[in-house]
Structure 1
Amino acid sequence: MMLLERQPQLQQMDALLADAIGGRGRVVVVLGEAGAGKTALVEAFASRLDDGLTMLRSACEDLSIPDPLGPLYDLAREARWELPRAMDDRQVQRLPLFS
């Protein structure tokens, strides 16, 4: 997939991936207005990854009252991290868990 005018962002993401592979973990946040091409950029980047790499993705909810720390919760679930059962039942505060 070829994205117009997105090569600098893809190169930056490639450099951050090289850092992560080298043992210096990285988190990439892609933000912008609706329709700006965020999803296309991430999908283009993901399509270039080696099969041995795992990329976890999350997104903010498009609701008027988003779930606090929802994207972190989604990442934890996608990574299959063991989370306390109470957290799954939303009985505890998530802020201390992710702090």
Structure 2
Amino acid sequence: MTLTELIPSIQNLNRSEKIQLLQIIVNELAQEEQNQNLTHQEKYPIYSPLNAFEAADTLLQILEKNKYYLEEKAKKGSWNKFKQALDKVSDQEPEDYDKL
């Protein structure tokens, strides 16, 4: 079946079916992409901030430059308002679909 033959059928789908079709197509494309770029038992680098001393130095410099700004912002803050905001946060475990 050609794309030209598929288009009228796709146009007749309801919204939910079109979304399902999109998900199928995206999953197919992702699978093809994965199959093209990754090979079995190949080693790939994983980037981590561990031992990223230059990044730590850069962050320290930024924090030192902004120290005055941060101190002024802290003076305007309220510990009580912070605690009130935290009290609104649920102490229950999130649902599985909400976990990071």
TM-score by length of 1: 0.26
TM-score by length of 2: 0.26
Higher share in helix: 2
**Quick check: which has more Rg, 1 or 2?**
2
